[in-house]
Structure 1
């Protein structure tokens, strides 16, 4: 049986490539609204960030998504991102998978 190819994506904070399951997608839609996309299927331009709290905090400090999407993003979005990443990391540690 052939090995299944693992999709890789680039973390926009560190610039490193990671398996898609280890990242969370952030998407900007046509109305310039930026939101988390846990399913990876929302319409719009997407960017990925690794499921790592220090990386999410660095994204907040550097305003990475403001620069990437070219729009002013509310600071509460970064707080939501950090909380989501923290939750997902705890979940992976507890259950041993990304689901």
Structure 2
């Protein structure tokens, strides 16, 4: 039996490579809306963050999500993502 390859993604906050299932996908939809994608199925450009608020704050401080999506992200969006993480975690 062949062993399946585990997809790895880099956290935008801490920069560590982790299995895709351990991370949360943040997606920029074709309309330009940024949201959290817990299913990993939403269409659009994705970036990954660990399930910790510290990683989200590190990504915010270094503007890594803004670089990944090539656009400015308003503070309200970061606040909403942080609220979703608190509710999830």
TM-score bracket for this pair, using the shorter chain length: 0.7 to 0.9
Residues 32 and 71 in structure 1, CA contact (< 8 A), matched pair in contact too:
no
Equivalent residue, structure 2, for 1:12: 12
TM-score, normalised relative to structure 2: 0.82
What is the 5 A alignment of 1:8-47?
Answer: 8-47=8-47
Gap runs ≥5 in structure 1: 90-99
Q: Aligned to 1:71, what secondary structure does the other structure show?
A: coil
Q: Aligned to 1:49, what secondary structure does the other structure show?
A: strand
CA distance in 2, matches of 1:5, 1:88: 27
Name the Cα RMSD after superposition: 1.8
Residues 6 and 19 in structure 1, CA contact (< 8 A), matched pair in contact too:
yes
TM-score, normalised relative to structure 1: 0.75
Equivalent residue, structure 1, for 2:86: 86
Q: Aligned to 1:25, what secondary structure does the other structure show?
A: strand
Gap runs ≥5 in structure 2: none
- Alpha-carbon offset, residue 67 of structure 1: 1.8
Greater Cα radius of gyration, structure 1 or 2? 1
- Alpha-carbon offset, residue 22 of structure 1: 1.5
CA distance in 2, matches of 1:53, 1:16: 15
- Alpha-carbon offset, residue 2 of structure 1: 5.6
Aligned pair count reads 89
